[in-house]
Amino acid sequence: MQKRILVIAILLIGLGGLFAVKFNPPKPIELESGFLFPQAYELAPFELVDQHQQAFTNASLQGKWSLFFIGFTFCPDVCPTTLNKLAAAYPDLNKIAPLQVVFLSVDPKRDTPDKLLTYVNFFNPEFKAVTGEQTQIFPLTRSLGLTYAMVGEGENYQVDHSAGYVLVSPQGTRVAVFKPTAALGKPPQVLNDEIISDFRKIVAQYKPSR
């Protein structure tokens, strides 16, 4: 009889734990500059080339965090501002966890690998600068949740594009987006102190889904 009572007590304790988890789920991470997606999202398959004319594919995302943003080298404000800010934040971000910054050019017509090499080296030679055919770029930007559009005609066209960053996990899945805020007279930007704080929170609590 005592054994039966003990077994029942253990089962009740176990059920109590399950109910506690069910009705008191872990508190979601509160980010200062972005949004954590409810679940990891697989990226579309892609085959791009980096500034060293090396292949850059989904496999290039494995084993390290990746911070993506899109743009083009002829960008007059958002892209150089973003790269400059990320160059300043990069040492602190990389101390938290291994991280690669990926500048994805959505203007492959003008942004050759040689052009990307010169451009990104000005900010940080460790950054990745990648591009490819539009048939590869578009599905990737869509699965990242970023958008772009060519504006104007002739050789001096511009590219309207998202100014946020997307964080990709070491398993190659989309995890979070960091959204810029606009200040009067300045291009929209993500504050470095906030993204460093947010990245630390995400890494501390991240659990791979597979």
pLDDT in tens, 93-125: 999 999 999 999 999 999 999 999 999 999 999
Tell whether residue 161 is among the known ligand binding residues. yes
Tell whether residue 52 is among the known ligand binding residues. no
Angle at 161 between CA 160 and CA 164, to 5 degrees: 150
Residue 9 above 60 pLDDT?
no
Structure confidence at residue 27 (pLDDT): 60
**DSSP for 101-114, written as a single string:** EEEEES-TTT--HH
Percentage above 70 pLDDT, the chain: 82
Eight-state DSSP code of residue 45 = P
Mean pLDDT over residues 31-44, rounded?
Answer: 88
Query: Strand 173-178 to strand 165-168: parallel, antiparallel, or no bridges (unpaired)?
Result: antiparallel
Residue 2 above 60 pLDDT?
no
The answer to whether the CB of 176 falls within 8 A of the CB of 203 is no
Residue 159 above 60 pLDDT?
yes
Res. 134 pLDDT band, cuts 50 70 90: very high
Distance of CA 109 to the CA centre of its chain: 24
First to last CA, the chain: 44
Structure confidence at residue 58 (pLDDT): 97
Choice between 188 and 3, residue whose per-residue pLDDT is larger: 188
Q: Share the mean pLDDT of the chain.
A: 85
List phi, psi (to 5°) of 173: -115, 150
On the CB side of 207, CA atoms within 13 Å amount to 4
Mean pLDDT over residues 116-142, rounded?
Answer: 96
Res. 202 pLDDT band, cuts 50 70 90: very high
3-state secondary structure of 123: coil
Q: What is the pTM of this model?
A: 0.82
- Residue type at 83? L
Mean pLDDT over residues 24-39, rounded?
Answer: 74
Res. 209 pLDDT band, cuts 50 70 90: low
Partners of residue 167 on adjacent β-strands: 67, 176
Tell whether residue 160 is among the known ligand binding residues. no
d(CA 81, CA 205): 30
Res. 172 pLDDT band, cuts 50 70 90: very high
Cα separation values, 69 from 29, 128, 161, Å: 22, 11, 10
Structural domains of the chain sorted by starting position, each given as residue range(s) with its CATH number in brackets: 28-205 (3.40.30.10)
Mean pLDDT over residues 129-153, rounded?
Answer: 92
With b meaning 16 or more CB within 10 Å and e meaning fewer, what string describes 127-150?
bbbbbbeeebbeebbebbebebee
Res. 60 pLDDT band, cuts 50 70 90: very high
Tell me which H or E stretch contains 158.
Answer: strand 158-161
